[in-house]
Structure 1
Amino acid sequence: MIDYLRSFIDQISLEALRINSIIWISLWLILKLMSFTKLGKDIKSFELKYSKDLYFFLLFIISFFIIRYQIKIDFVKEFLNIGPE
């Protein structure tokens, strides 16, 4: 049982990474598509202001932990019946 839970936690981390990557790639695509509209100048200034690699890396890590935590909480509530109801 413990091995199953450990492997499932690894699966949770993989799923959180997948969801997080989809969200960030979608946001990047939306920004790129919006740069072709009338808001192009505003989008380019936003990209120049916030395009530091470390800043986006930290946001990616923070959002990954938030998504992973939420998936774990949902798993515990649904399958282990532990938690406030």
Structure 2
Amino acid sequence: MFSLGGDATPKRLHKMDAWQRHEAEARISEVLNAAKTRGPQTVQDKDGTFKVTFSQRKPGLEELFSKPGLLEDDDLDH
């Protein structure tokens, strides 16, 4: 997250969970990885705010039934 100081210079407040659009565009891999590992990321631009979230892909039936052995409850929760 950033705060504008008296000299209008961005200052980092804490670990990055909020990004300015230009920085997010330049560091898109970091934004996506942060959304995956730390949770939703916020990208701010002049018109508003974007929320970047990660949703884990759920395995299809073909993938589930191609695994050897019995299905466990955990296999169905993903």
Bigger radius of gyration: 2
Where on the TM-score scale, by shorter chain, does this alignment land: which range? under 0.3
Please, what TM-score do these two structures have when normalized by structure 1?
Answer: 0.23
- Please identify which structure carries the higher helix content: 1
- Please identify which structure carries the higher strand content: 2
Q: Which has the bigger relative contact order, CA under 8 A and spacing at least 6?
A: 1
Please, what TM-score do these two structures have when normalized by structure 2?
Answer: 0.24
